[in-house]
Amino acid sequence: MIEKKITTTFYQTNKSSLIKEENSLVDLAINSLKSAYAPYSGFMVGAAVLLDNGEIISGNNQENVAYPSGLCAERVAIYYAGAKFPNVKIKKIAISAVSKKFDFTDVISPCGSCRQAIAEYEVKQDKNIKILLHHPNDDIIIVNSVADLLPFMFKSKGLKNF
């Protein structure tokens, strides 16, 4: 047996230190979470996706009493971008969250399903997607690819041969 290690790279900063484009993207994610539909969890998430053509698509989480039927903010935004601009690459996604029921101290990152959805678009466009994770205290974690959050992502190109 051989032990191997995976390392990841991320950047930690504050919202005020971001370049203008990224600061605006985070602002749109924050604004989007305000209209999230989260009557059960009280956990509101907003996402904003910047496309190569300059368009920005935002989304927020949409809950359902049958929990698996809801959808996370990241997938709402990414899937809408893919539907409206199917051949335009995603450059960046900003994600912000807040809870009506509790305080949290960590930056919230995408769930496994959202990580895999982001991975699918990175493979589809053959280009990394920069991810900005925003905390309500304006701390920011930045990764340059979803691979930094999901190192063993499911991405077999061979599946397209079926």
Active site residues: 74
> What is the C-alpha separation between 94 and 100, in angstroms, rounded?
20
Pull the structure tokens for residue 58. Answer: 């935002």
> What is the C-alpha separation between 123 and 119, in angstroms, rounded?
6
Q: Which helix (H) or strand (E) holds 102?
A: none
Pull the structure tokens for residue 55. Answer: 């368009």
Cα dihedral across residues 75, 79, 80, 86: positive or negative: positive
Pull the structure tokens for residue 129. Answer: 């997607």
Please state, as a whole number, how many other Cβ atoms lie within 10 Å of the Cβ of residue 95: 29
> What is the C-alpha separation between 112 and 55, in angstroms, rounded?
26
